[in-house]
Amino acid sequence: MNIRDMGTNQIEKLSDACFASTRSERISEYKNRKQAFDYQRVSPASVEEFKSQGWEFDRSLKTGTRLRRAKSSEEMLENRFWSVLYLLGFERLNLGHDLALPIEADGGRTSKTISVLGIDEDTIVVAECRTAESLKRKSPFSVVADLDVHKRSIANTLRRFLGEGSNRKIIWCVVTAHIRWADGDLEKAKEKQVHVLREQELRYFQEIAKTLGRAAKHQFVAEFLSGQKIPALANRHVSASKFKLGGRTAYAFTIPAKDLLRRAFVNHRDLRDPSGAPSYQRLIDSRRIKAIAAFLSKGGYFANSIIVSFHTPVRFDQKDRDEDADVRFGKLYLPDSYKTCWVIDGQHRLYGASLMEEGRDPIIPVVAFEKLPATEEAILFTTINKEQKQVQPRLLDELDGELKWNSDDPEESAGGIAARSLDQLRHEIAGPFEDRFAPPGVPATKNQVLTLPQVKQALLKSGLLGRRSNRDDSYLPGALTGGSRKSTLENTSDFLSGYFSAVRAANVPRWEGGPQQLLCYNPAIQAHLRLCGEVVRHFNLKLKLDPHEMEPQALVLRIVEFGKSLFDFISDSSDEAFKERFYVPFGSGGPARYFYKAAELVSRDHTDFEPDGLKEYLAGTNKELREECDRLVSWITDEVHSFVVRRLKEQYGSDFFNAGIKNKEIKKKAYEKSLDDPTGAKPLETYLDLLELKKIVESSENWPFFKESLHFPLPIQPKGLAKNLIWLEDFNEVRKVWAHPYNRAYSEEDVALLKFIESELRKRLI
């Protein structure tokens, strides 16, 4: 039945068909959605048919061939937001894509397609996901307007489905990628109570979802429902004492942890709430949260207080007073709105309590300040943790940098932006850097081969975020520098995600864990960042292109197109060839060597691409290459010559020169050369050259003696030849570079030929 014909009495069937309601269903859907590619196993006979539909080879299997196809940008965006809700613990999520909800519109029944729908016990999230590609001819606000028009109908459908008594709050979202919103459109969306999530906001929620899991659900909900009343918490009060602490009004009380959490908000330092400034909380340790939950489940408790700050005025009904201590006792009416209790210290205890099973809600002691300024919250957090020595000094040093976010030092600001961007990208679901950075102080997995300090430093050195002028020491903006720190951060994250997604797409198996991790490890990432910086400078100086006039994704496409030869090599080269070019032995230049090897490939198509140091590096490597090729030519020449002479002696005895060589012209030339030798005559076989040796070998009387050892075709040579000795002729041409080096150089084809011949001869002659 077409969904557009469904009536309200059939909504229950819609739930069975369209929702992941069990844990196993949600896990299966999540595993599929977090992959950047779709995979298909096909028979060898079907490969070409699938390739015509956009599929490409991934790997050979015992039972066929596995193909892959990149998911569309809109599907990837949808999957990322769906995965956030999954990680936050939403218990009912749509299965598949384009969920069609039956609604009433224009006096009739129809359906409304929704990108993502998540439902939990208190909240419903309805989201539309759009990318620049899917909105080529529409403004992004058109999606907001369309969702706003259907709000009532969608809400009615969901209310009937969940039961008329359901009072869940609905969060309406439009999630976009690579779209620049006009401030006016954002303001109009806010007026219509439709929340716009751009790349930066989505990355933030990916971070808290992946780090905290379902413990962060209240954090997520509080961001969207900030200030809205929570009916279940209306007129709730606790017995409390009121006093002065550090000149500020404070309250002390106890409360069930989950009651506090529903009102609470944590302004994370590393997870960076988009609207919180300054952010001061340290990074959450998910293992510590689980340990706390286990401790509390066994009957444990914490005697020390959680420190919070009420961001709205509270009512206190005084019942008694201690005049000597200046302490008042009475009833404290707690805020009954989302995002009104900001946690200053004790977030691990609070989040740990939230992970306890249903029905378990430990009582926790709280000290609450009333409307404490954000800067004082940060100072209080720092003071507490310095004195109690709960935070590593390195993290407190980083905190000082966070508090200098508005510093006038542009280099300090750029460092903060770089660190924030990389921190976000390591949590980007299905992104190139997801779970690729080794976390500080925690054992890394086999794929966590990147370290944030090294990559951050390379990003700063690339100049993409700006650089010091050699003329007057002023700080010049980079290609990703925006009009504000926030826009620079957005540009940086968009660019890095887009560029390294292209690198990954060029060879997914190699990125995911190829031999020795040569595509996704510190030297490779550092080299690519330097390459991007050099290409941008080339655009500016040689092509007169201003990178500031391009959106980050457009800049990515331009760089990838410019570096086609490099990306082709990543895509098409064998593992052996890739390792030979890009393997960096320890202590041999690391990222610089990797960069020059990559830049050399790019310069083949663009001879005017000459980053600093490339010519000097290539001159040095050419010297090494010539020495290696000279060695191979000498070795092959000696081995072939000595082998032919030795085999002739074996067959014809001491008179082999006369008996085994029937060609009189060859004998004559050898005799004449011996007479002209100023150092004195040597045995006549000494004066045979390579082409003469070839004629001796392929003669009808001698061929049976050499066929097994010297008869082998070149890789590109047609098969079926009776005598495969073309390699000797080609080798003789390469040998001329060694014999007459002036103004001559070995080509890559020469190198490949020499190594091929060496490999064959070592198998056959030694």
CA 347, distance to chain mean position in Å, is: 28
| The pLDDT of residue 277 | 44
| The pLDDT of residue 569 | 95
pLDDT digits (tens, 9 = 90+) for 417-473: 888 888 889 888 889 999 888 865 556 677 888 988 889 999 999 999 998 887 777
Q: Which residues of 283-302 are buried (b: 16+ CB within 10 A; e: fewer)?
A: bbbbeebeebbeebeeeeeb
The DSSP string of 216-260 is GHHHHHHHHSBT-B-GGGTT-EEEEEEEEETTEEEEEEEEEHHHH
pLDDT digits (tens, 9 = 90+) for 281-306: 555 666 677 777 778 777 787 778 88
Cis peptide before 552 (omega within 30 of 0): no
CB atoms within 10 A of CB 398: 18
| The pLDDT of residue 2 | 34
* Architecture field, domain 3-36+71-197: 3-Layer(aba) Sandwich (3.40)
| The pLDDT of residue 742 | 66
Q: How far apart are CA 238 and CA 341, in angstroms?
A: 15
3-state secondary structure of 48: helix
Nearest in space to 533 (alpha carbons), one of 418, 424, 611: 611
Please state whether beta strands 341-345 and 248-256 pair in parallel, antiparallel, or not at all (unpaired).
unpaired
Q: How far apart are CA 206 and CA 435, in angstroms?
A: 12
Please give the torsion angle defined by the CA atoms of residues 522, 431, 219 and 300, in that order, rounded to the nearest 10 degrees: -60
Q: How far apart are CA 570 and CA 445, in angstroms?
A: 25
Please give the torsion angle defined by the CA atoms of residues 494, 498, 500 and 506, in that order, rounded to the nearest 10 degrees: 180
Beta strands in 465-612 (DSSP E): 467-468, 475-476
650's tokens: 């074996």
Alpha helices in 329-409 (DSSP H): 347-354, 374-388, 393-403
Q: Is the pTM of this model over 0.75?
A: no
| The pLDDT of residue 104 | 81
Q: Which residue(s) pair with 669 in the sheet?
A: none
- Domain extents for the chain? 3-36+71-197, 231-399, 404-612, 622-765
Task: Report the sign of the C-alpha dihedral through residues 52, 54, 60, 61, in that order.
Answer: negative
3-state secondary structure of 65: strand
Write out residues in the chain with pLDDT < 70, as ranges: 1-16, 106, 165, 267-287, 357-359, 374-407, 439-444, 514-516, 585-589, 619-622, 717-720, 742-743, 748, 766
| The pLDDT of residue 516 | 66
| 113 burial type by CB count under 10 A (0-12 exposed, 13-18 middle, 19+ buried) | exposed
